[in-house]
Amino acid sequence: MACAILLPAAGASQRMRGADKLLERLGTAPLLRVIAERALSASAHVAVTLPPNAQARAQALDGLPVQMLPVPDAAEGMAASLRAGAEWAMGLPADALMIALPDMPDVTAADMKALIAAQARRPDQPLRARTAAGVPGHPTLLPRALLPQVMGMQGDTGARALLRTHPPRLFTLAGDRAATDLDTPEDWARWRG
C-alpha cells in the first residue's frame, strides 16, 4: 500500500502563550523535525503544511525531503491544511493519506508503519488510532476515494464530520500515545516530567 503522510503544521500555536509548540525541543531537535523524520521512515511521500511567515518552522525541516505546502488561509483552521494535503496526495500514486498531528511526540515511526499495514488490510475504510484504553485519537488514515470530500472541507473541526459519515476502524497504539498532544506550556512540563 502506498500511503502519503500529511503533517498539518499551519496552526498558530496560540495556547503556547508566545512560544511555538512545534519548535520545542525533543532531545536535540525541534518536535516538528523529529515527527517529520519519523514520517519519512514510514513513507516516501511526506508533506508539511505551513502558515504564512513560518520561516522558523521551514528551517526546522531544512534538508529533509518533505514537501512544504504553504497555506495562505491557515487562519481558517484545520480544514485549510487538510484541503492542501488532500490536493497534494491526489497528485501522487497514493492509496491513502495519513494525517499525523505534529504535536504528538509519542507517536513513533513504528506506529505509523503499523497503521499503514493495517490500512492495507482494509483499504476502503478509514482507520484511526486509539489509546490502549480505547479513546480515539491520531493518526487517522483516509482512503484515496475520500480525498475529494476532504478538498471541500471548511472550518476548524478537522475530519470529524467525514468520519461520522464514514466511520473508521480503530487501531490500538500502546499506552496513551494516540491521545498525547502538547498544546500548552503546562502540557510540555507534565510530559517532560
CATH number of domain containing 33: 3.90.550.10
pLDDT band at 18 (very low <50, low <70, confident <90, very high): low
- Residues of the domain holding 40: 3-192
CA distance 98 to 46: 9
Average confidence score pLDDT of the chain: 93
Least confident of 87-96, 111-120, 178-187: 178-187
Q: Indicate the number of domains in the chain.
A: 1
Query: Does residue 2 carry a pLDDT above 90?
Result: yes
The whole-model pTM stands at 0.95
pLDDT band at 90 (very low <50, low <70, confident <90, very high): very high
Q: For the segment 74-87, what is each residue's pLDDT rounded down to a tens digit? A: 888 889 999 999 99
Exposed, middle or buried: residue 106 (CB in 10 Å: 0-12, 13-18, 19+)? middle
Q: What percent of the chain has pLDDT over 70?
A: 97
Per-residue pLDDT, averaged over 55-76, amounts to 95
* Reported confidence tier of residue 49, pLDDT bands at 50, 70, 90: very high
| For range 80-102, the mean pLDDT | 96
- Cell triple for 45: 511521500
SS (H, E, C) 82-129: HHHHHHHHHCCCCCEEEECCCCCCCCCHHHHHHHHHHHHHCCCCCEEE
